Structure formats: C-alpha cells, structure tokens
C-alpha cells in the first residue's frame, strides 16, 4: 500500500489560492490519487481523483507530474467554509484505502 506524506497543517486567508502537496513515492502503476475533505463529525467528502497530468472539476484542480510521485491539490479562492482536514490517498481497483494524518487547513478572514 502506497504511503502518503502531507503537511500537518496550513493557514490561508479568504480569497487566496491554496495548494496542498502530497508525496507518494511508491505509488503503484494501477493506483489512482484521490483527495477527500472532512469537516468535524462528518464523513469524508470526495473532492477529486486523477491518474496523471491535470484534472479539474468545479471545486478543485489536481496536478500530477509525470513520475506520479507527488500530487498537488489546488483550491482556488478559498473561503472560511473550506476550513477542514484534507486527505490524500492512493489506491485503486480493489485496494483498500489507508488514511494518513491529513492536512488541517485553516482559512482566516
């Protein structure tokens, strides 16, 4: 199972772009990269998933370099409601997901 490493915490201000980078040096060929957001006392919410290059949806972008050993979640123009814990996970197919510590993002006024 690929292990992921993320910053423990980050701080930002409303309206700024936030980039959270995740390292996954031993990612397997068939692994996807998935990011989740979790608020206190709620289940994780799916944000975005990708395999390589760039993926964009209505809430975020995911940048994956060619070697796939890292990925960056980009949140454009964050608001106070984006304060949460963000988890980067790698896996795919029938592999189970193992959660790391995640990144606690605090958005300030």
Give me the residues that bind other proteins (CB under 8 A), please: 32, 34, 36, 41-46, 49, 87, 92-94, 96-102
Distance set, CA 78 to CA 50, 51, 61, 88 (Å): 21, 25, 13, 18
Q: Are strands 61-64 and 45-50 parallel, antiparallel or unpaired?
A: unpaired
Report the nearest approach of other proteins to the CB of residue 49 (Å): 5
Which residue, 98 or 106, has its beta carbon nearer to other proteins?
Answer: 98
Shortest CB 46 distance to other proteins, Å: 6
Q: Please, what is the minimum distance in Å from the beta carbon of residue 40 to other proteins?
A: 9
According to DSSP, the residues that pair with 5 across neighbouring strands are 23
- For the chain, what is the largest distance between any 2 Cα atoms, rounded to a whole number of angstroms? 42
Q: Is the CB of 13 or the CB of 99 nearer to other proteins?
A: 99
């Amino acid at each position: 199972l690929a292990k992921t490493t993320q910053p423990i915490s980050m701080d930002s201000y409303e309206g700024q772009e936030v980039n959270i980078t995740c390292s996954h040096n031993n990612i397997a060929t068939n692994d996807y990269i998935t990011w989740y957001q979790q608020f206190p006392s709620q289940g994780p919410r799916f944000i975005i998933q990708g395999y390589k290059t760039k993926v964009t949806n209505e809430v975020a972008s995911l940048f994956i370099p060619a070697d796939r050993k890292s990925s960056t979640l980009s949140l454009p123009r964050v608001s106070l409601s984006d304060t949460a814990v963000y988890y980067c996970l790698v896996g795919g197919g029938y592999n189970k997901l193992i959660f790391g510590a995640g990144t606690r993002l605090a958005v300030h006024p």
